[in-house]
Structure 1
Amino acid sequence: MQRYTIPAIVLHWLTALLIVSAFALGVTMVDIPGLTPTKLKYYSWHKWLGVTVLGLACLRILWRLTHAAPAYPGNMPGWQQKAAHALHGLLYLLIFAIPLSGYFYSLAAGVPVVYLGVVPLPVFIDADPELKAVLKQVHYAFNMLLLSAIALHLLAALKHHFIDKDGVLKRMLP
């Protein structure tokens, strides 16, 4: 069975780790009451993780455009191949949409994003309380959709490994 390239594997697992970290930090920070120094620090870290995920998503797309993914096993049904392709498309879409929705949510809240506390990112929109409320819901909905898509992705990988025993999961393991 053909494997993914080492850069593709590294980008996959690094992106996954950062997404899990950003999600956990997001859940933690919104539960902190009031506006405390810790909460502000967590918001900054969350944004930095989001910007990093967006950068890695760009690298992943560039890599993928120049390096084809390994073929699916010959005995994998066509509907499963189409479902896998669709799910991967959704995952890619969300790893762009979530950081962008968070970025614009922050801008609509009137809070600029300063990557790593050093690099101010462009401010494309003015503060807008109505847009802020919409973008907050969009950011949340995208995250819930990503959580569901990741769960499905993990379940499919485990099915291929333990039930089908077709090597699909091994293609992406370090």
Structure 2
Amino acid sequence: MTLKNTTDRWGSVSQTFHWLIVVLILAIAIIGLTMDSLPRTPKYFWVYTLHKSLGLTVLALAVLRLAWRLFAGAPQAVPGTPRWQARIAGVTHWLLYALIFAMPLSGWLYDSSSGLRPFHWFGLVNVPKLSAPNESLSELSHQAHGTLFWVLVALVAVHVGAAFYHHLFRNDATLTRMLPRGRRKPPLQEHHDVA
């Protein structure tokens, strides 16, 4: 497998970015949906810091992923894909990029405008504030963060549904070209009896 994308497959770098971001967003979502039920103990603040740290990690990975895509290009639509489906897929991909940027940025803005104590990424690096404390901005960014999450969930559901539709019903490579290729078995060698 090549590092760079080809006309018919995503390369290993794009695949790594894709699946790493998927796993991190899933972890962030689980933490985000459950942390409000935790009592306000030191464990809560540790979980909250983990949520924010993972969010900023996704933001950094999204920047790298977008830069790589601009450098390495993207595969063409699978042969036989109707033009309207290819256009919808293209729009969906760019909306997913936008949401993957907007989600952590809105969370970062909420953290900044809330006037919370300084935030350290995984306890290691001080993260600068995007704004001074501002109650109205804090409420707006918090609402945006929640709304964007559910928009992201809906768009991911469409994206995954389309990938499985192509895999199960159209029997094409839309899904498998974002998966690592399995090792191919070497061809069987023919043995000829020597007379």
Does the alignment reach a TM-score above 0.5? yes
* 1:4 and 2:10 correspond: yes
What is the alpha-carbon distance in structure 2 between the residues aligned to residue 158 and residue 165 of structure 1? 9
- The percentage of aligned residue pairs carrying the same residue is 39
**What secondary structure is seen at the aligned counterpart in 2 of 1:120?**
strand
* 1:167 and 2:170 correspond: no
| Number of residue pairs matched by the alignment | 173
Q: Which residue of 2 aligns with 1:77?
A: 82
Tell me if structure 1 keeps the 8 A contact 2:164–2:175. yes
The 4+ residue runs of structure 1 with deviation greater than 4 A are none
Q: Which residue of 2 aligns with 1:97?
A: 102
Map of 1:20-35 to 2, 5 A cutoff? 20-33=26-39, 35=40
TM-score by length of 1: 0.96
Tell me if structure 2 keeps the 8 A contact 1:103–1:113. no
CA positional deviation for 1:123: 1.7
CA positional deviation for 1:114: 1.3
Equivalent of 2:54 in 42, 46, 49 = 49
TM-score by length of 2: 0.86
Name stretches of at least 5 consecutive residues in structure 1 with no aligned partner: none
Tell me if structure 1 keeps the 8 A contact 2:110–2:142. yes
Q: Which residue of 1 aligns with 2:185?
A: none
Larger helix percent: 1
Equivalent of 1:37 in 42, 54, 76 = 42
Cα deviations by residue, 1:76-117 (Å, 9 ceiling, x for unpaired): 011100100011011000010000000000011112331111
**Which structure: larger Rg?**
2
* 1:130 and 2:158 correspond: no
What is the alpha-carbon distance in structure 1 between the residues aligned to residue 34 and residue 176 of structure 2? 33
- With a CA cutoff of 8 Å and minimum separation of 6, indicate the structure with the bigger relative contact order: 1
Cα RMSD (Å): 1.1
Tell me if structure 1 keeps the 8 A contact 2:62–2:100. yes
